[in-house]
Amino acid sequence: MASVTALLSANLHQVFNNRDAEARGDAIDRVYTDDVAFTDPEGTSVGRAALGRKAAALLERSPADFEFVEDGIPYTGEDAGALAWAFGPAGAPVVRGIDIITVRDGRISSVRTLVVPVSAG
């Protein structure tokens, strides 16, 4: 069973920061439950395939030098966790956010993403 900290890291780095579609798909299969619910300001997507499409679309519309980096320490409990992140060119993020996850049977069953543009913070 993966730890909540490891799942937070995998969600950010192996999925949403991964521009290799095949490796991203493998990570999605490993990290999330079949019925994972991903909620962001655009709405809620349910299932691994829908989450994969969200990650792919985000990376496709972002410049190649944009990357996700951890923006603080992970906060974890037995079946939940949160990790702040920043997204943009190295050292110059354009958006910051936080992912809040729920874990079931060693996999992420829900992700809620809250964001704020850097100019608003």
pLDDT of residue 55: 97
Query: What is the pLDDT of the chain when averaged over all its residues?
Result: 95
Q: What is the pTM of this model?
A: 0.93
CATH class of the 4-120 domain in this structure:
alpha beta
- Residue 82: both structure tokens together: 């949160």
What residue ranges of the chain have pLDDT lower than 50?
A: 121
| The predicted structure's pLDDT at residue 1 | 61
pLDDT value at position 120? 54
Q: Find residue 56's DSSP bridge partners.
A: none
For residue 27, the model assigns a pLDDT of 98
Cβ neighbours, 10 Å, residue 63: 9
Domain boundaries, the chain: 4-120
| pLDDT computed for residue 2 by the predictor | 87
Strands 43-46 and 32-40: antiparallel
Count how many residues are written for the chain. Answer: 121
Backbone angles phi, psi at 44, to 5 degrees: -115, 135
